[in-house]
Amino acid sequence: MVRTCREMNATGINQGTAGNLSVRLGDRFLITPSSLPYDRMQPEDLVEMAFDGTYVGNRRPSSEWRFHRDILKARTDIDVVLHCHSVYATTLACHHKTIPSFHYMTGVAGGTTIRCAKYATFGTQALSDYAIEALEGRLACLLGQHGQISLGKTLESALWLANEVETISRLYVQALTLGEPPVLPDDEMERVLEQMRRMSYGQAPDLDGVNDVARPKAS
């Protein structure tokens, strides 16, 4: 977790003490502490929390522990919650913009859009409730006037997704300078999502069978 937090800052998707990270630990979870720079954080600084909100450790848990707790409780399909204030995702979040399927890679978040949750004060139950709503059927969302959340089964997958969300956010911000871009239709996005599912299971991404026939090697 400490290494992942430092990679968040190294890749530029987070700055200073912003952002936080949690990992499921059986019937409990580990979460980063409040107000401690990642370059000073050590494994013993991580806070172990129960789903009733109680905790043990040398430090206080992140002020955003509520949405970490609630997401992990609601989403048994994932084990990691990563929150950061990446610049382009936050730029869109400041305008409460949902990212449409203007580019097929929007599908990495699990659907045809990357939604933006309504604004609520940081650390509140309202923010947690809005995040849960925006993450319905998704692996990532923006938080209105705040930042982004990305989910994963592993630390590596959550970090990868957070960087992908930032990349697609940057593309969308840049595309908007030329006007609202065209959006791929839902039936095409369904094909994209099926391709992505096949690839995640280690299968060839082609749906039409054109790669199914072995071709002779060039002489």
* Interatomic CA distance for residues 44 and 59, integer angstroms: 9
215: in domain: no
* Interatomic CA distance for residues 194 and 86, integer angstroms: 28
126: in domain: yes
Q: pLDDT at residue 204 above 60?
A: no
210: in domain: no
162: in domain: yes
- Look at residue 94 in the predicted model and tell me its pLDDT: 98
216: in domain: no
Joined tokens for residue 139: 């692996």
CATH of the domain at 101: 3.40.225.10
Q: For 123-144, how does the pLDDT look when each residue is reduced to its tens digit (9 = 90+)?
A: 999 999 999 999 999 999 999 9
- Look at residue 2 in the predicted model and tell me its pLDDT: 96
Q: Which residues face 82 on adjacent strands? A: 21, 150
List the 116-117 sheet strands across, edge first.
55-56, 47-50, 28-31, 20-25, 80-84, 147-152, 140-143, 116-117
Please give the average per-residue pLDDT across 99-117, as a whole number: 97
Joined tokens for residue 8: 């968040």
* Interatomic CA distance for residues 91 and 13, integer angstroms: 12
* Interatomic CA distance for residues 174 and 103, integer angstroms: 12
Residues forming the active site: 64
Q: pLDDT at residue 21 above 50?
A: yes
More confident residue, 204 or 73: 73
Residue-number span of the structural domain to which 161 is assigned: 2-200
- Look at residue 206 in the predicted model and tell me its pLDDT: 57
Q: For 40-99, how does the pLDDT look when each residue is reduced to its tens digit (9 = 90+)?
A: 999 999 999 999 999 998 899 999 999 999 999 999 999 999 999 999 999 999 999 999
CA angle 187, 192, 109 (to 5 degrees): 110
209: in domain: no
More confident residue, 214 or 11: 11
Structural domains in the chain (count)? 1
206: in domain: no
192: in domain: yes
Confidence of residue 208 (pLDDT cuts 50, 70, 90): low
Confidence of residue 202 (pLDDT cuts 50, 70, 90): low
- The percent of residues above 70 in pLDDT, for the chain, comes to 91
Does the pTM of the predicted model rise above 0.85?
A: yes
Q: Which residues face 29 on adjacent strands? A: 24, 49
